[in-house]
Structure 1
Amino acid sequence: MKQLFTELTKLTVTSILVVSLYACGGAEERKIKYLEKGKAYLAEKNYKKAKVEIKNVLQIDPKFAEAYFLLGKVEESKMELIKAIGNYQKAIELNPELNQAKINTARIYVIAGTDHTIKEAMRLLDEVKKTEPENIEASLIAATLEYKVGSKEKATKSLELIVDKDITLVDGALLLANIYIKNKQYDKAKSLLIKSSENNPKDIKIRMRLAELYANGLKDAVSSERVLKELVEIDPENFTLTVALSGFYARTDQIDKAEVILKNAIKQDDDDVRRYLMLIELLASRKGTNIAERELLKAIDSKPELYSLRFSLIKFYNSIGRASEAKAVLKQIIGEKGFDVEGTKARNELARILLNEGDKLGASVYLKEVITEYPSNNDALLLSGKISLANQDPVSAINGLRTVVKNNPKNSEAALLLAKAHEINAESSLAEEVLKRSIESNPVNDITHANYARYLVSKGRIDEAVNVVDKAMVYFKESYDLLSIKLKIAGSQGKKLEVQSILDLMEVADSSKADVNLIKGKIQLSKGNMDKAIEEFEKAFEKSVDKFKPLELIVKTYVYNKQNNKALTRLQKQLEINPNDAVSNQLLGQVYLSQNKVNDARAKFKIAIQDSSSWMVPYSSLASTYISEKDFEKAVEVYQNAITKMLNKSTAQIQLAGLYELQKDFVKAMEIYKQILVDNPTNKLAANNYASLLLDHGNQSDYVKALDLSESFEKNQQSALQDTLAWAYAKTGKNAKAVEILKPIVEKSPKIAVFRYHLGYALYHMGDKAAAKSHLEIAASSEQEFVGRDEATKLLKSI
């Protein structure tokens, strides 16, 4: 028995050993199998499946560096760059000799372009060169880095050597070609791109750049068309390429060809809403909005279940200024879909339209419905944040926008709004940190760089802003936003030639923008070139959806140059198309006023009001004609009419309250401000004006009420609001607190007499009469009108 037991024991131990070995072999085999499948999916750009397979590898071997490297590649391919860096760093930690992970990380760091990431990129590249001094990818990134922060000439020579050594390096060829194009060395760029396309026969980016070069630099439309056709043949299912070819035909006025291409694209995939939208945009711009609308309605009838088409119709209506029809479609979707995905989206979109129209209360109703149902809905929180900012309520804005940025760190708009909220809340360091993190989260978005640069400009840190813009423009050469910042800086520095050059680049970057032509027109006007100014304003008029600003500039240019007849002729041209057009009648009224034809002007303002009853401008113009004649009763009637017609009536209410203040009827003015605050408790302008009236024309109990109204202004950086708060502290006997707030305000705006008076008053009642005297003297001797001048003089005499 003992012998039998021993033999059985030996057999069992042996069996366990065999099974264990088999199991180990199986796990290793599965790991290799998962790894190869992950690589295959990655090569096929099936990132979702690739990620699953690589995660399977890590379940078997959590310390497998190559798996983390591949996960990094998956995330980088999806533009999830923060996640990519995290995986690459883990791979490097597990295997410090994994140079490719260091190279990929350095490449992302260079794109980010912050001082910290550039230093990190340099460190990683140095590590690679120690073991692989001839690594061509590392050399390419180093040359790119040199171009961004060092000598452009040296970097260009390095790039030429690298590309000559390995023409298959697409990124290198593209960067070098772009440098040539920037320097107008078009033949060199053409030769390089042709050679690169021959050596990278399936690469799309190279051929796209070549097509752009033929079209824009070399003005060779035939060659551009040929290359674009080749691209479509290479990848016929790539809609981006179809759009490029269609766009080429549209730009060269071959509209029928462009239309055929887009209609064929719809047949290829009739569930892809982008295809319908591209066709509609083409038809609207080249064949008329009626034809475009019919085409879209026909598509909706054929595919009623495709709600994205209805949202396209809404976008179309918004683009042509038919907001009422857009709202009707949205309400229909809400009725059909409730709080489903489409219904929720419709509520947010309806809120967005109402907000654009100034109806903050109406927008808030829909947003509250969404947030009640879905507390973390990013769109609703973002729009609510905008409303809070408009109401000067930064704390509420911060609370909601933090959630949006946490949910989606790449949301550059949310990051910008959050930074603004922190800035209003006197938290500048937090504002800057948000914008820096936005770049780190989304370095391949030019807007994140532009947002940070604008912040630096607002702080007067011009050199830093220029540095941010220049680094970003290495990658975003045709970024309209980045160019607009360069324009602002160049303009502030009086660099006229640079301004003109930037404007030309901006027009190339986005020819649909009217702003460039408006600025060009103003420049021509400043030079006395009226005809050229009018030409630019007319271009802006053609591009603009909102026609008021360009047409106003056209008319004012004629009037300023004493050519009223030309102004009238230009407006009559518009009125022949639509005799009731609000914009044209409003401007015609202004021309008549300049000729002292008050009755004719009033007639035109009234037509403008009838045509666009929710537009405040003609109401204000009409009221001003009565105010100039001191016919306050009729002016009041105009504003009261406006209040009944406005979606956002607070603007009209504030103007009416101002009219009552002008008549020194402070009780009525305060009643209006009080009503505004009942409708919208966060309206800072109404709260400020109401508090000011209570402080200047009230009693002790009114001062306490004013302090309650203005306490939320403490973190607001607007001097007028802070002055009201300080004045409330002074009037309620809290003079030390008033002085604390008023001193930096006076330092910032030393010439504002009322600020000096309030500071002098507070210092006087603190007992510091010597300090009070200097401020009261400045206030009393000022020619500015302000409430309290007599009191300032009285206090000064008592010292």
Structure 2
Amino acid sequence: MSAQVMRTLSRFFMVGVFLLSISACSGSKEEAANRYLNSGIELYTEGELSKANVELRNALQIDPKLASAYYYLGLIAETQQNWKALFKNLSKVEQLDPNHVQAKIKLAYLFLLAKQADTALEKADFILALDPDNAEAYAIKASAYLQKDLYDVAIEYIDKAMEKNDKSADIASIKISILHKQGDTESALAMLSDLIEREDDDLHLLLLRTEINEEINDLAAMEADYRTLIANNRNEKAFYLKLAKLLNDSQRVDAAVKVLEDYLRRNSSDTEVRMVIVDLLSSKDIMAGDELLDHYIARDSKNADLRFFRIDRLMARGSTAGALVELEKIISDEFEDQHLFRAKAFKADLQLRNGQKDRALQLVNEVLSVDRHFEQALLVRARYHLITEDIDAVVSDLRTVLRNNPESEPALVMLANAYLSSGSSQLADDTFRKVLDINPGNVQAAVPVIQSLLEKKDVDRSERLLENALLRSPDNDILLSILAQIKLSKQDFEGSRKIVSRIDKIGRNPAFSHYLSGRSLQAQGDYKAAVEHYQQALAINPDLGRALEGLTTCYLRLGQVEKLLEYLKGFRSDNPSNMMALSIMASVYSKRGDRDTAVQLLEQGLKQDAMWINGYTALASNYRAAGDPEAAMASLERGLKAVPESNLLMILLASAHEKLDNKDRAVQLYEKVLKTNPDHQAVINNLASLLTDEYGSAKNISRAVKLTERFADSEQPYFVDTYAWALIKSGLPEVAEPLLAKVTKMAPSIAIFHYHRGVGLSLLGRGDEAKKSLLRARDLAPSDASLQTQISVALSEL
């Protein structure tokens, strides 16, 4: 659904005041409540919102079940654009009076704004059951189907809405949007022009026309409408900024500056517009932008926002030293305390980034000794504690921030990251979601939540979350790229193409847009065209490894191995430090059976970079494939000597030692990994298995239980099984049984799971069920002599 339709839906909230009939009540209590209610309604209609709010709440103090009072509190919240309060009050109205049509209408529009079309449809159907001629209910259904991209259905319902009310410009504007989405833009624009001529209040209609013209790239029409909007709204800054952006995007920087200077002549103290003019000039000539900013500051020397704007510009250029000089000027000048404290907190933050932890802590403590609630200083100190891994101190400082400012996004994001550091992934996820409730466009929160949903295979919710985030941050490359990849995973090639077009239009990451185009073409089987896009991506950004992987896959699918090797040799020649190309070449030769050449290439890479971890792992793979596990082991040991802190090499080496029955060395390596990475789930699983099965003392089994208890809710059956088996070994088969029931349902063809469950059931005295599980295990493990022996022993003990 277009942003203009969203704005149109919002307008519905502001149209009309719906007076409610109040049934006659007897008794002083009821009369008092109604007096307050009537007074509140009257004050609301007069625009006295604060007073109306007090009167309505007084009414609810006497009678908490007055649906009308909640409804008018909702209208007040709507006027103040407090959508949370609006939803809360309307929901209360619906609870108290299920047949309240106007409350349901407003709730339906709220659900549409939240992109919950199905819920909005339910509300509309309920309204039509009460009032079959309700035009707004039909408009809601049209908007919902428009949101679902079902344009033919949407047009049927909007025509019904217009039959019931042909005077509503808002309803007509929804039809215009549907016509445009159907591809009949000419009719949409003609209808819109007629409507603009007819309506006195044409503001939202002009905005709708600018949006349609933007989609069809009619920049001249957009410019004309923005100039009309400015002429009719001389002091509305947003229109000047919109026109300036349009002109700047059309490479007419001077014209953009002129538009904003016209606004400044009326509002000379507007800091935001002055900053935008500086940025526009800087896009042509940085020195000219700096000079203009110096001029603004000289004429308005006590404007702290302009000073900090200059600091931000210096930071964007990487001039930390210049930023520190400017901060010192603020600190030594006569600014208000809040600006001095902000400058000191900013300076401390820079010191922290430069590794001057003690100086940073001293400076923020200096601020906090005067104002212990100053948010920026508390945030810097929390970052200090995060660096020093004092999670309790991080949480303490952030809770102070959040008590004073519950919607502080930086504090919530940092708190979530602190929870992640402490292993509390669920708390982290909950906190990131709080951030998104406040600002759906917060990328720092959106990305981890989306990744969490994708890991759970909840693609639809991920997509909704992304689209909500993009409403606030429409040009964010990260969000757009994730959405494009989700579209590809769903085989929605047209949707993916539209997202790639948006990334292209933004122009900040052309390499990635070529990569995404390549992925789309590859998914559709057009490998030749995909190769061209991957090559273009790599020409722009040779370090885009995913493009190199995609290109390799496409060449192999085309059966063009020699062309692939030729390209990789040329790419390697142009990018001698790119080790990935060398690794792929070695892999190609290895798959062809030419392992000598593969090893030669890998050794060549390791001679160039002895710290190349993937070189050692690839060498080991080659030797394993050649049936030489000792040489594979030696390659990993050699790598570990070169890169002694590599967790990957330690894990692979531990696994190799396990296979060669050197369990002591495996345990030693797994323990070493956990010292630096205590939450590595695969390592925890492998170590716990060894402790349970190979070193099964009471102490080791107890430790295995403690290590794996985090796996109780895992979606990985092997992890859950390891925990359950450790529980059985520790004498808790009753706790293990529901876990193993879950595991055998998740992965019914794994013999070891049925064996473990059979042992547990046997210990619980459930012999028949135990026998059934053990026999199932025996059927599934015909070639595993060791497991077959264990199963036979367990069966003989029943």
TM-score bracket, shorter-length normalisation: 0.5 to 0.7
Helix, strand or coil: the match of 1:73? helix
Report the equivalent of 2:215: 216
Contact 1:700 1:732 in 2 (8 A): no
Shift of 1:691: 0.8
- Over 3 Å counting, the alpha-carbon distance change for 1:115 and 1:103 in structure 2 is closer
Contact 1:229 1:245 in 2 (8 A): yes
Contact 1:337 1:343 in 2 (8 A): yes
- Over 3 Å counting, the alpha-carbon distance change for 1:549 and 1:207 in structure 2 is farther
- Over 3 Å counting, the alpha-carbon distance change for 1:657 and 1:204 in structure 2 is farther
- Over 3 Å counting, the alpha-carbon distance change for 1:68 and 1:291 in structure 2 is same
Alpha-carbon separation, structure 2, partners of 1:759 and 1:709: 20
Shift of 1:552: 3.9
One-letter code of the match for 2:534?
A: F
Matched, 1:781 2:776: no
Contact 2:778 2:788 in 1 (8 A): no
Report the equivalent of 2:375: 341
Shift of 1:277: 8.6
Matched, 1:81 2:83: yes
Contact 1:277 1:312 in 2 (8 A): no
1:567-586 equivalence runs, <5 A? 567-573=568-574, 575=575, 580=577, 584-586=578-580
Shift of 1:656: 5.4
Matched, 1:670 2:648: no
Report the equivalent of 2:636: 635
Residue range with higher mean Cα deviation, 191-200 or 620-629: 620-629
Alpha-carbon separation, structure 2, partners of 1:156 and 1:530: 40
List per-residue Cα deviations over 1:440-466 (Å, max 9, x = no partner).
Answer: xxxxxxx9xx999x799649xx8xx89
1:540-619 equivalence runs, <5 A? 547-554=544-551, 557=554, 561-562=560-561, 563=563, 564-573=565-574, 575=575, 580=577, 584-592=578-586, 594-595=588-589, 596=597, 598-604=599-605, 618-619=612-613
1:59-458 equivalence runs, <5 A? 69-88=71-90, 103-109=105-111, 111=113, 113=116, 118-124=121-127, 127=130, 129=131, 137=136, 140-141=139-140, 143-144=142-143, 153=152, 155-160=154-159, 162=161, 169-200=168-199, 203-217=202-216, 219-235=217-233, 240-242=238-240, 244-249=242-247, 252=250, 327-328=353-354, 336-337=363-364, 340-346=374-380, 364=391, 367-368=394-395, 370-371=397-398, 373-374=400-401, 379-380=410-411, 382-385=413-416, 388=419, 393=424, 397-398=426-427, 409-410=437-438, 458=458
Alpha-carbon separation, structure 1, partners of 2:547 and 2:494: 22
List per-residue Cα deviations over 1:35-63 (Å, max 9, x = no partner).
Answer: 8886676xxxxxxxx64243344477668
Report the equivalent of 1:621: 615
List per-residue Cα deviations over 1:134-190 (Å, max 9, x = no partner).
Answer: x65455346546767999646524524655887774532332222112211111111
Shift of 1:118: 4.3
Residue range with higher mean Cα deviation, 621-630 or 293-302: 293-302
Residue range with higher mean Cα deviation, 408-417 or 756-765: 408-417
Report the equivalent of 1:21: none
One-letter code of the match for 1:224?
A: M
Report the equivalent of 1:501: 494
So what's the TM-score if we normalise by structure 1? Answer: 0.66
Which of 679, 701, 704 does residue 702 from structure 2 map onto?
704
Residue range with higher mean Cα deviation, 661-670 or 188-197: 661-670
Shift of 1:233: 4.5
Matched, 1:720 2:718: yes
Shift of 1:725: 0.9
Alpha-carbon separation, structure 2, partners of 1:151 and 1:725: 49
Shift of 1:297: 12
Kindly report the root-mean-square deviation, in angstroms, between the aligned alpha carbons of the 2 structures. Answer: 6.0
Which of 747, 750, 753 does residue 749 from structure 1 map onto?
747
Identity of aligned residues (%): 17
Alpha-carbon separation, structure 2, partners of 1:655 and 1:290: 55
Alpha-carbon separation, structure 2, partners of 1:697 and 1:748: 26
Alpha-carbon separation, structure 2, partners of 1:76 and 1:277: 31
Shift of 1:223: 2.2
Alpha-carbon separation, structure 1, partners of 2:679 and 2:744: 27
Instruction: Select the structure with the greater relative contact order (CA < 8 A; seq sep ≥ 6).
Output: 1
Contact 1:571 1:588 in 2 (8 A): yes
Alpha-carbon separation, structure 2, partners of 1:545 and 1:772: 54
Alpha-carbon separation, structure 1, partners of 2:293 and 2:393: 27
Task: Give the number of equivalent residue pairs.
Answer: 683
Alpha-carbon separation, structure 2, partners of 1:643 and 1:297: 53
Report the equivalent of 1:5: none
Alpha-carbon separation, structure 1, partners of 2:127 and 2:153: 21
Contact 1:623 1:639 in 2 (8 A): no
Shift of 1:762: 4.3
Contact 1:207 1:231 in 2 (8 A): yes
Alpha-carbon separation, structure 1, partners of 2:711 and 2:456: 24
- Over 3 Å counting, the alpha-carbon distance change for 1:231 and 1:653 in structure 2 is farther
Contact 2:158 2:175 in 1 (8 A): yes
- Over 3 Å counting, the alpha-carbon distance change for 1:559 and 1:607 in structure 2 is farther
Contact 1:296 1:313 in 2 (8 A): no
List per-residue Cα deviations over 1:448-487 (Å, max 9, x = no partner).
Answer: xx999x799649xx8xx89999x999x99x9998998898
- Over 3 Å counting, the alpha-carbon distance change for 1:527 and 1:152 in structure 2 is closer
So what's the TM-score if we normalise by structure 2? Answer: 0.66
Report the equivalent of 1:731: 729
List per-residue Cα deviations over 1:253-292 (Å, max 9, x = no partner).
Answer: 5567668778999997998679869987997xx8899999
One-letter code of the match for 1:667?
A: D
- Over 3 Å counting, the alpha-carbon distance change for 1:688 and 1:243 in structure 2 is farther
Helix, strand or coil: the match of 1:549? helix
Helix, strand or coil: the match of 2:714? coil
Alpha-carbon separation, structure 1, partners of 2:44 and 2:495: 47
Alpha-carbon separation, structure 2, partners of 1:231 and 1:277: 20
- Over 3 Å counting, the alpha-carbon distance change for 1:325 and 1:245 in structure 2 is farther
Shift of 1:722: 0.6
Report the equivalent of 2:690: 693
Helix, strand or coil: the match of 1:714? helix
1:37-52 equivalence runs, <5 A? 51-52=49-50
Alpha-carbon separation, structure 1, partners of 2:546 and 2:444: 27
Shift of 1:553: 2.9
One-letter code of the match for 2:544?
A: K
Residue range with higher mean Cα deviation, 250-259 or 732-741: 250-259
Report the equivalent of 1:770: 771
Contact 1:143 1:159 in 2 (8 A): yes
Residue range with higher mean Cα deviation, 207-216 or 365-374: 365-374
Shift of 1:420: 10
One-letter code of the match for 1:725?
A: Y
- Over 3 Å counting, the alpha-carbon distance change for 1:368 and 1:104 in structure 2 is closer
- Structure 1 unaligned residues grouped into runs of 5+: 1-27, 42-49, 355-360, 422-446, 611-617
Shift of 1:706: 1.4
Alpha-carbon separation, structure 1, partners of 2:496 and 2:150: 26
Shift of 1:490: 8.7
One-letter code of the match for 1:721?
A: F
Contact 1:780 1:793 in 2 (8 A): no
One-letter code of the match for 2:585?
A: V
List per-residue Cα deviations over 1:593-625 (Å, max 9, x = no partner).
Answer: 545354554554676787xxxxxxx42334432
Report the equivalent of 2:594: none
Shift of 1:381: 5.0
- Over 3 Å counting, the alpha-carbon distance change for 1:146 and 1:369 in structure 2 is closer
Alpha-carbon separation, structure 1, partners of 2:666 and 2:635: 17
- Structure 2 unaligned residues grouped into runs of 5+: 1-34, 320-348, 369-373, 590-596, 624-630
Contact 2:196 2:202 in 1 (8 A): yes
